[in-house]
Amino acid sequence: MRVTYSLLGPELVVTAAACVILLIDLALRGAQRVYSGYIAMLALAVAGVLALSNWDTVPRSTLGGMFVLDPFSVVMKLIFLGVGVFVLWLAIPPLRGHRYEGEFYFLFLCSVLGTLLMPSSRDLLTLFIALELVSAPAFVMAGLRKLNPRSNEAALKFFLFGVLSAGVLVYGISLVYGAAGTTNLARIAQAVEPTASSPQPPLLVGIVFVVAAFGFKISAVPFHFWAPDTYEGAPTPLAAYLSVGSKAAGFVGLLLILVTAFAGLQHFWGPVVGAIAIATMVIGNVVALRQRHLIRLLAYSSIAHAGYMLIPIALLRPHGAQVGRTNATLIRSLVVYLIVYAFMNLGAFAIAVGLSKQYPTLLVRDLAGFGRRAPLPGLAMGAFLISLGGIPPFLGWFAKFAIFLAAIRVGSVLGVLLAVMMVINSVISLYYYVGVVRVMYLQDSEDTGAVSFPAPITAAVATAMAGVTAFGIYPEPVARLAAAARLAVGL
């Protein structure tokens, strides 16, 4: 098997950096461990440059067709690397001097490596490896605060659900392999196409198991139980990564499997994914109404947004000329949402990171008077929450409008139903988003002292705020980036 190493540039850089950090951490002590974080950020930046150098690449494959570099994978790699740099930006200040600081950066790079492999994977085996590479390091990172009972609980629940989902995925892959005789996504599509009207029952069971396994990764209902406890107990920067980077990787993997291998069976899995999308939207938003812990509120908000992002996937159609344009619009709307969601959610978690030292439990009531005690961070938090609710002029409106328009244009009953449910749930979500803003500005706090953030956290908040505001007013760059993510099918 011939390997074209030039196509693996970003992955090789991140792998090398992880190995370097693992080695030099043996020699670093105390405050010196922060250099591991800087090396990790530098590696992700270099990987981003290498990914950007393939911007206009013609789709190419290596590793026997298991790894494909196309415009879609390049755009997604840039998104994952941007999220990785931002999370490290948030993680370095609270982790400085921590005895497990070096281990965190090593494990984090390993997880980012999994996200980079995901959009280029065109085989069930490489998709499985990528998915587990994203998840397995996160199990350990969630429990790095070994003396914290909540951290231990978060890691244990995450690990148990993760191992269960891995087993389900492997069993699903075995059933698909037994029915199709291959694990290559394009060849699976060729094998199942002749029997698409009456598929084999083992193949359908295999698809259900694969969707269930990825449903865990994206915290879709009914596979969402781990998310609130894990987000609450894990280090807050890791919770930010799980809610954005890890979740986005799960969506990319699910999209690749369904649109590349099982497009001909959309009449079977489309309604199933649509039902999961509705349940995820409703349960995520309804349960979030009762939350009094800020991180748990953001966790259930993240679950609800997973429901929104499932809409384009549920409406994908079998391949064809006219259908190809419809699918391209749906995929573009999903990429738009992933980009926008990264800005909004990472910004909200950046505020949580800044407050976590002063308020370890970080209840919503702890934000009373936050808008007056910290005017700029308070304004930014309000912008992030209102943007998550989809209210102009902040960026969130554009993401929801993109999915709404794409769903309506499909012209099916399911598309209209999902679009209407998204609008209804967006209105429901405004109650708890605006509720937090009301606490920040209209409730008095017993603590009248000013709130100060470390300079890197302030810079991160300002960056996310600038993106949410500027791109909300002028979203054309986001639309162009999403339009560039053209998925190569059939390689």
Domain ranges, residue 407: 271-485
Inside any domain, residue 398 = yes
Cα–Cα distance, 260 to 119 (Å, whole number): 12
CA neighbor of 172 nearest in space, from 230, 131, 219 = 131
Inside any domain, residue 459 = yes
Task: Count other C-beta atoms under 10 Å from residue 166's C-beta.
Answer: 17
Q: Which residues of 344-364 are buried (b: 16+ CB within 10 A; e: fewer)?
A: bbbbbbbbbbbbbeeeeebbb
Inside any domain, residue 246 = no
Cα–Cα distance, 478 to 49 (Å, whole number): 19
In order of 77, 233, 244, the CA distances from 159 in angstroms are 26, 13, 19
Nearest-10 Cα torsion for 287, 292, 297, 299: -90
CA neighbor of 395 nearest in space, from 333, 478, 306 = 478
Inside any domain, residue 425 = yes
What pLDDT is recorded for position 321?
41
Inside any domain, residue 467 = yes
What pLDDT is recorded for position 377?
87
Asked whether 286 and 200 are in contact (CB, 8 A), the reply is no
Amino acid code (one letter) for 84:
G
What pLDDT is recorded for position 12?
93
What pLDDT is recorded for position 398?
93
Inside any domain, residue 411 = yes
Inside any domain, residue 70 = no
The separation between the first and the last C-alpha atoms of the chain, rounded to the nearest angstrom, is 16
Both structure tokens of 457: 């956290």
- Ordered per-residue pLDDT tens for the chain, 491 residues: 566 777 888 999 999 999 999 888 887 777 777 888 899 999 999 999 999 888 877 778 787 888 888 889 999 999 999 999 999 999 888 888 777 888 889 999 999 999 999 999 999 999 999 999 999 999 888 888 777 788 888 888 888 888 888 999 999 999 999 888 888 898 998 888 877 677 788 888 999 999 999 998 899 988 888 888 889 888 889 999 999 999 999 999 999 999 888 888 888 889 999 999 999 999 999 999 999 999 999 999 999 999 999 999 999 887 544 456 788 889 999 999 999 999 999 999 999 988 887 887 888 888 888 888 888 888 999 999 999 998 988 989 999 999 999 999 988 898 999 999 999 999 999 999 999 999 988 887 776 666 778 888 889 999 999 999 999 999 999 999 998 888 766 55
In order of 91, 190, 231, 254, the CA distances from 185 in angstroms are 37, 9, 33, 12
| Surface-to-core class of residue 201, CB atoms within 10 Å of its CB (0-12 exposed, 13-18 middle, 19+ buried) | exposed
Q: Which residues contact 201 (CB under 8 A, 6 or more apart)?
A: none
The structural domain count of the chain equals 1
Inside any domain, residue 458 = yes
What DSSP assignment string belongs to 334-399? HHHHHHHHHHHHHHHHHHHHHHHTT-SS-BGGGGTTHHHHSHHHHHHHHHHHHHHTT-TTSTHHHH
